[in-house]
Amino acid sequence: MLNHTDLGNGRKLQAQILHALLQGRSPDRSELLRNGVAAATRRVWEDLVHSGAVVVNESGRVVAAYPLSATPTRHIVEVGSFKTWANCAIDALAVPRMLGRSGRITSECAHCGTAITIEVAGETVLGTPASIVVGYGGLADCCDRPAIEARCPYISFFCSTEHADSWVRPGSWVGEFLPLPRAAAVAADRFRSIIDVYRSVFSPESSWPE
């Protein structure tokens, strides 16, 4: 069980990982524990990985830290000087909120491939086309797998309700289709703790350049 100091170091380490991904870097365990937060321990790192907040490959390199991906996805988020990838549609909607800045999301309809653009400014979310919905769900028969496998690939934008209805569900997919404003609210609520963690270390006013 993590003590108060470990929890504080865990927050710093998690924020540092997110910031590295925003800068286009994919850190590994040895780099983070050597050069990052001096008091961070193996236990802190293992807790982040075990909880699923950070996903690593076999060599210990970070491949994702929710809501960000270290490898290309179809969900690209631009906020200020940062251009990064999100793991899924809901994750993408959380990134501008995490950074406390206006941002732009570019993606595509999971059914027809039509380009999708979403402008996020505070709680205002405007999509092009205006009929965008979000498929929010996952594979029911893979619930024992990490979310990055069982849910993220299947949480997508659609250019319309009609295309969401026409989408061929993969395998055991179960979920719902959310209007864009509702999806943005879900993203803000789901990532509230991670948003707080990042902002506790990197403030919107002073942590990164325009």
pLDDT in tens, 58-94: 888 999 999 999 999 999 999 998 999 999 999 999 9
Note whether residue 208 is domain-resident.
no
Range 10-13 contact pairs with CB under 8 angstroms and sequence separation of 24 or more:
10/40, 10/44, 10/47, 10/48, 11/197, 11/200, 11/201, 12/36, 12/37, 12/40, 12/201, 13/37, 13/40, 13/44, 13/45, 13/48
Which residue segment(s) compose the domain that 25 sits in? Answer: 4-65
**pLDDT tens digits, one per residue of 140-174:** 887 677 788 888 999 999 999 999 999 999 888 99
| 60 found inside a domain | yes
Say whether both 128 and 152 belong to one domain.
yes
Please, what's the b/e burial string for 13-35 (b: 16 or more CB within 10 A of its CB; e: otherwise)?
Answer: bbbbbbbbbbeeebbebeebbee
Whether 168 is covered by a domain: the verdict is yes
Query: Is residue 28 located within the same domain as residue 80?
Result: no
Please, which residues have CB within 8 angstroms of residue 62's CB and are 6 or more apart in sequence?
17, 20, 21, 26, 27, 28, 54, 55, 56, 70
Domains contained in the chain, number: 2
pLDDT given for residue 4 in this prediction: 45
Whether residue 132 sits in one domain with residue 81: yes
Name which of 32-36, 117-121, 205-209 the model is least confident about. Answer: 205-209
Same domain, 112 and 148: yes
For residue range 110-135, list pLDDT tens digits in order.
Answer: 999 999 999 999 889 999 999 999 99
81 plus 171 within the same structural domain: yes
Q: Which residues contact 141 (CB under 8 A, 6 or more apart)?
A: 171, 172
Q: Measured between alpha carbons, how far is 155 from 107 in angstroms, rounded to an integer?
A: 12
Q: Would residue 203 count as lying in a domain?
A: no
Q: Specify whether 121 is located in the same domain as 164.
A: yes
SS3 17: helix
